[in-house]
Amino acid sequence: MVCTADDLQEWKDFPKGLRVLLLDRDSRSATEIRSKLEEMEYVVFSCCDEKEALSAILNTPGNFHVAILEVCARNYDESFKLLGTSKDLPIIMTSDVHCLSTMMKCIALGAVEFLLKPLSEDKLRNIWQHVIHKAFSNTSKPDEDSVASLMQLQLENENKNGVSEDMEVLSWIQDIVWEEPEGSDKSQLIMEASRQGSWESGDQMNCSIETDCRDKDVQSKFVETTSHDLVCEDPIQEGQPQLSDKNKSGVKSDPLAAENSIQGSDVNHSAGPKARKTKVDWNPQLHRKFVQAVEQLGIDHAIPSKVLELMKVEGLTRHNVASHLQKYRMQKKHVMQREENPRWSHYPRCTIQTNHLKPIMAYPSSYQPNCGISVSAVYPTWRQTNGHPPIVHTWGPPGYSHWPQQGIQPWNSYAGVRADAWGCPVMLPSHTPYFSFPQHASASHDMQTVNKSYGMPQSLCDLQPDEEVVDKIVKEAMRKPWSPLPLGLKSPTESVLTELSRQGISTVPPQINGSRPP
DNA sequence: GCCGCAATAT
DNA sequence: AATATTGCGG
């Protein structure tokens, strides 16, 4: 791995000294970029053609923390080839050609980001985030201690600045770090269970793949123990609501059965008319179905009865859906309100916005894409059409189970902002947003859906998809511009802030972007 | 009777 | 904390 989580913890002045491989055929542009990067105290290695870049990557692995490679307008294939050379090196693609298809293709092939030239300081400033993400995403499980100590370290070293905005950055980092490409809680447990042969199901793979970036949230880290038994004994089925533990009947269900029904729904009937209904567990799969139904109907036309009909989940009631829809709408409202909050706008965001995801979703409210391509430019009708921001899956795994919380100190105002995917090649959520962020999206073409529909590998970093597959993804994305692109950094979420608070970190994080003033 | 919303119960 | 339920106006 180019840069491990441990490396980061010992990296006192991170991101100073970040080694950047730069490929830009235009010497003038290269000089400009180099100069900007050097101002941020990054170390730049320039090259002017693919060959040179390829050789640099292959011959000196570990020498670079991140690569910024220009897409060759005359020979795209050459550029795309570079994307498959190193799965550990986060590669940011750039181009002065404003082509959505190319951008999508880069992302689909594993680029962590696409930046339209010219590369302003703002666009370059946060490239270190990809290094963090890569480092932690390559770790089996980003452990809290690592994150906490990294943060603590940053606090100790640089706690000189103001609070609010820097804090956003720090919490954002933590959020990024927490993203787990493989899914941490349930999906991992499910996979583990399947390895042990305790059960088998055609859906099991979908489940584990789809949960990847989305099926995690801060909370999940603290419930593993409790969810383990649950998962092993009652593996979650695709689209199948789960009853809460205490309400389950003693009879184990057949994992292959009841694909579209609520497990244990019979309990509802046998318990008598007065018994309080069993709670529906809006697990990621079920939520995804819900979101897909809502998006299929259009947020403005989604009513409980129709959503229920589209979901086709046996045992689910209109009331269940209505209740969920109510929360879903409230969540969106929250996000939209925040979107109007200008506080975030000056923070360059590394995401291509897209959805709604994060289920793994939609768009972080105050999220400003930082891909060099403005959302309005790429998707000019986004907001005008319906007045709604792109749907962002603010829940779904990662976001899943995170409804807006209230009452946590002064950071409250940033809660709920999140994106879906985070530098994850198409696969996702959500995100979930992305989206479902890593992660995911939630529209009918959230990352997970895309992944599932096209049978994408869990990580394009591991496996180059067929041309055909990439084309499909690109086309699908262009056909549904409101859906999230496979990339999106997550902004700080309330859950993160809450966790920070829980860890006793209440001071302002140090400024950790590359352009800290002296 | 369905819908959406808010308050309240579990 | 997450859902369900209830009540009310439309």
**A68: domain CATH number?**
3.40.50.2300
Task: Give me the count of residues in chain A.
Answer: 518
H or E segment and range at residue A46: strand A43-47
Q: What is the pLDDT of residues A332-375, one digit of tens each?
A: 877 776 666 644 433 333 333 333 323 333 322 222 233 333 22
* A157, A88: one domain: no
Q: What is the pLDDT of residue A341?
A: 60
Distance in Å from B2's C1' to A304's CA comes to 9
Domain-terminating residue out of A101, A125, A149: A125
**Closest C-alpha among A515, A179, A139, A147 to residue A351:** A179
> Contact, A431 vs A361, CB < 8 A?
yes
Strand C contact at CB of residue A329, distance < 7 A = no
**Closest C-alpha among A36, A40, A88, A48 to residue A66:** A88
AA identity, residue A16:
K
Q: Measured at the alpha carbon of residue A315, what is the angle toward residues A310 and A321, in degrees to the nearest 5?
A: 55
Mark the nucleotides of strand C covered by protein, meaning any atom under 7 Å from a CB. 1-6
Q: Do the domain assignments include residue A245?
A: no
Q: What is the pLDDT of residue A246?
A: 38
**Closest C-alpha among A269, A277, A275, A414 to residue A334:** A414
Q: pTM higher than 0.85 for the full model?
A: no
- Domain ranges, residue A65: 5-125
* A304, A384: one domain: yes
Strand B contact at CB of residue A276, distance < 7 A = yes
* A363, A408: one domain: yes
Q: Do the domain assignments include residue A88?
A: yes
* A344, A199: one domain: yes
Give burial (CB, 10 Å; 0-12/13-18/19+) of A156: exposed
Strand C contact at CB of residue A327, distance < 7 A = yes
B10 C1' closest Cα residue: A276
B9 C1' closest Cα residue: A276
* A217, A321: one domain: yes
Query: Following DSSP, what letter does each residue of A478-498 receive, concatenated?
Result: HH-TTSPPS--PPPP-HHHHH
Mark the nucleotides of strand B covered by protein, meaning any atom under 7 Å from a CB. 2-6, 10
Distance in Å from C4's C1' to A211's CA comes to 27
Among all strands, which nt has the closest C1' to A333 (CA)? B5
Q: Do the domain assignments include residue A277?
A: no
The count of C-alpha atoms lying within 13 angstroms of the C-alpha of A97, restricted to the half-sphere facing its C-beta, is: 15
* A77, A207: one domain: no
Strand C contact at CB of residue A405, distance < 7 A = yes
* A15, A107: one domain: yes
Q: Do the domain assignments include residue A239?
A: no
Domain-terminating residue out of A74, A92, A125: A125
* A197, A326: one domain: yes
Could you give the angle at which helices A284-297 and A202-211 cross, rounded to 10 degrees?
A: 80
Q: Do the domain assignments include residue A392?
A: yes
Start-end of H helices in A301-372: 304-311, 318-339
* A169, A37: one domain: no
H or E segment and range at residue A450: helix A447-454
CB count in 10 Å sphere of residue A381: 10
Among all strands, which nt has the closest C1' to A276 (CA)? C4
Distance in Å from C1's C1' to A347's CA comes to 31
Q: Do the domain assignments include residue A228?
A: yes
Q: What is the pLDDT of residue A42?
A: 93
Could you give the angle at which helices A202-211 and A186-195 cross, rounded to 10 degrees?
A: 150
* A40, A160: one domain: no
Strand B contact at CB of residue A223, distance < 7 A = no
Q: What are the C-alpha distances in Å from A139 to residues A170, A194, A236?
A: 20, 22, 25
Strand C contact at CB of residue A215, distance < 7 A = no
Q: Do the domain assignments include residue A69?
A: yes
Distance in Å from B2's C1' to A305's CA comes to 8
Q: Do the domain assignments include residue A254?
A: no
* A104, A145: one domain: no
Strand C contact at CB of residue A85, distance < 7 A = no
Indicate the number of domains in chain A: 2
Residues 302-341 of A with CB under 7 A from strand B: 302-306, 318, 322, 325-326, 329-330
Distance in Å from C3's C1' to A366's CA comes to 29
* Residue spans of chain A under pLDDT 70: 1-2, 137-277, 337-518
* A203, A72: one domain: no
Residue A177, helix vs strand vs coil = helix
Domain-terminating residue out of A99, A125, A151: A125
